[in-house]
Amino acid sequence: MISWIQRTFQHHFRIIFGILLAVIIISFVATIGAGTGIGRPDRTVVDRDFFGYNLASQADVGRIEHDAALSLELHGVGQNVDQEQLQKYAEVRIAALHLADELHLPAASSTEVQSYIRTLGAFAGADGQFDVKQYDTFRNNPRFDPADVLHVLGDDVRVAKVQTLVAGPGYVLPSDVAQMLQQSDTSWTIGTAVIDYASYQPAVNPTPADLAKFYQDNQFRYQIPARIVATYVDFPADRYAGGVTVTDAEVRALYDANPARFPKPASAPAALAAKMPAPVIKADPAADFAAVRPQVEAALKQERARARAARDASDLAYALYQNKVASGPALDTFLAARQLTPKPLAPFAQDAAPPELGNSPDVADAVSKLSADRYFSEAVVTPTGAAIILWQSAQPPRQPLLAEVQAKVRADYIENQKRADFAALGREVRTELAADLKSGLAFDKAAAAVAATNRIKIDARLLPAFTLRNRPKELNETAAGALEHLDQGQVSEMVATADQGVLVYALAKKSPDLNPANPQFAAMRARLAGYMAQASAGEYLESVVAQELKRTEPVAAK
C-alpha cells in the first residue's frame, strides 16, 4: 500500500517537488564570488561551453536561468534575489550537476524524496513537524508547471548529494563553540531606555557666518542637477467622457470579471452593524450588481474615455513624425491648426518624470529618450488621461548661490547640529543613569529622573530573563546588538537611530555552562560543523565554476 505522501506526489507534484531544492543549494549563494559566465549573451560572441551549455546561446542561457529561478522560487526566496545573484546561483547549480554526472550519482528515488520532504521547514507546523495543511497551501499554487518542478527537483536532489560529498566534516575549534554558546545561551535580564528624538529640542540659532561655512563645506548637497525644460500636449479623459456610450451587457461583463473591484455599499452604519447579529444571507449576484451598477458604468466609461485619449495622443505623435514637423514655429502652427495648446512643465531632472504627469516609470522612460533631435515623445498615460511631451531645452547643472537655498541650508544646519547634540546628550544620559543605578535607585525611577533633568521623553522597560537563542519580541536589534560588549551592572553607550536613542542596562547576566560535557556544547559543535561544511562546499564549487569560466574564456583578438 502506498502512503498518503506517495499518492500526493503522484497526483499533486506541482509545487512540492521543487521545494526540495531549497536547503540543498541556497547556502552556496552567500559564498560564491563574482560570476561572469551566465548572463545575456551578445549575438556576436562565439560559442562558449560551460559544462555542456553554450553561454553564447540565448536558448541555453534562458534554460539555465529558468531552472535556477524556479529552484529559488520553490525555496521561497525568488522575490529577494537580483539578476547577479541568480547568475551566481545558476553557475553553482550547473557545476554541481556536472560533478554529479562525473561521480555517476543516480537520480533521487521516491523513498529519498519522501524522507527529505518531511524535513522541510516550508511544510512544518507549529510543532516543527510535517503539516499537511502547509503542504496543501503550497501545492495548490498554480504558478508552477509540474513537469518543470519535477525536473528541477530531480536535479537539486542530486546536487544535495554532491554537497554532502564535497562538504567535508566541518572542523570547528572548541573556542569557537564556546564563543557561539556564550552569545546564544547567556541569560540576560535587562532594562532598555529609549530616548524619543522628537522630544529633544535644543536651541540652535546659527549665525550668517555659521550658515556660510556650512554651505561651503556641503556645496555638493545643494547643487542643482541637469534638468529638462519641456511642455506637454494634454488629452484629458474628461474631454471624451460625454461621447462614450456603453451597453447593459458591457457593464455587466465588466462587473462579472471584477466583482471585488465593486463592493456592495454597507446597508447599515458600522457602529450599528457591530451590535447586530450577523444575518445568514444567501448570495444574490443580480442584486449585488444592481446595487453598484452606477459605479460600474462610470468606471467602464472612464476606461473607454482614457483609451480614446491615448489613441488621440498616439495619432498626434504619429502625425508629427509622418509630417516631419520641426520644433519651433512649425510646431506651433501645426498644433494651432488642431486647436491644441502645449502646457508648461516645471523643469525636472533628466532621470525623473515630471510631477505634473504622475511620476510613473513609463513617463520617465519616455522623457529619457528626448533630445533636440527627437523633441516629442510617444503617447504616455497620465493620471488624468494621456499626453505627449515636447522637449524644449536642457539646463546644465549649476551651483546655486547661498541666498537661493538659504532656507534649506538653515534647516540642514539645525538638524545636523541637533544630531551632534543628541549624541552628546546620550553620553550625559548614560553617565547620569549609571550613577543613579549605582546609588540603588530602581531602573524605571532612574530613567524618569534623567528624563526630567534633561527635558526629554524616555520609554524605560525591564525585560524578564531571556537568551538570544529565544529572544523576546520586545527586544529589537539595536538593543540586542548592545549586549555583545556589556557586562552585568553596566549601561551601554547610546545607539542613535533616525527617531530614537537606545541605551541598555544589564541588570543580570548569567553565562551558560561551557564545559564540553554539556549536551548543549555538543549540539552547538554539530551546528557549527554543519555551517563550516556548507561553506567548504560552497568554496569548492566556486573554484570549479571559476576554472570552467577561465578555461572557456574567449581569447582577445590581437
> What digits encode the pLDDT tens for the residues 110-159?
777 677 667 666 566 777 677 777 666 666 667 767 778 778 778 888 88
Would you place residue 34 in the very low, low, confident or very high pLDDT band (cuts 50, 70, 90)?
Answer: very low
CATH 3.10.50 residue spans of the chain: 187-205+406-510
The region, left, alpha or beta by phi > 0 then psi within -120 to 50, assigned to residue 172 is beta
pLDDT of residue 532: 87
Minimum mean pLDDT range among 129-138, 149-158, 207-216, 528-537: 129-138
161 pLDDT more than 80? yes
For residue 394, list its beta bridge partners.
228
Lowest mean pLDDT among 14-28, 211-225, 387-401, 464-478: 14-28
Residue pLDDT, tens place only, 86-113: 888 899 999 999 999 999 999 887 777 6
Q: Cell 451587457 identifies what position? A: 249
Rounded CA-CA distance 146/60 in Å is 21
pLDDT at position 159: 86
Which residue carries 516609470 as its cell?
Answer: 361
pLDDT at residue 21, rounded to an integer: 37
Distance, CA of 391 to CA of 327 (rounded, Å): 9
For 229-247, what is each residue's pLDDT tens digit? Answer: 999 999 999 999 888 888 9
Supply the DSSP symbol for 279. Answer: P
Q: Pull the grid cell for residue 509.
A: 547576566
Residue 208 has pLDDT above 70, yes or no: yes
Residue 341 has pLDDT above 70, yes or no: yes
Question: What's the CATH architecture for 187-205+406-510?
Answer: Roll (3.10)
The amino acid at residue 147 is: A
Question: Could you give the percent of the chain with pLDDT greater than 70?
Answer: 83
Per-residue pLDDT tens digits for 60-82: 888 898 888 888 876 667 667 78
248 vs 61: CA distance, rounded Å:
50
- pLDDT digit string (tens) for 347-380? 988 777 888 888 788 888 888 889 999 999 999 9
Greatest CA separation found in the chain? 93
Long-range residue pairs from 340-348, CB within 8 A, at least 24 positions apart, any chain:
340/233, 340/316, 341/233, 342/231, 342/232, 342/233, 342/390, 343/231, 343/232, 343/233, 343/234, 344/231, 345/229, 345/230, 345/231, 345/232, 345/389, 347/227, 347/228, 347/229, 347/395, 348/227, 348/228, 348/230
Give me the count of residues in the chain: 558
Rounded Cα gap, residues 335 and 346, in angstroms: 21
Cα separation of 528 and 172, whole Å? Answer: 7
The H or E element containing residue 495 is strand 495-496
- pLDDT value for 113: 67
H helices, E strands: number in the chain: 20, 11
* Residue 87: CB atoms within 10 Å: 23
What's this model's pTM, rounded to 2 decimal places? 0.57
Which pLDDT value is given to residue 236?
93
CB 117 within 8 A of CB 16: yes
Q: Per the structure block, which three cell numbers stand in for 51?
A: 559544462
With the C-alpha atoms ordered 238, 240, 243, 246, is the resulting torsion angle positive or negative?
negative
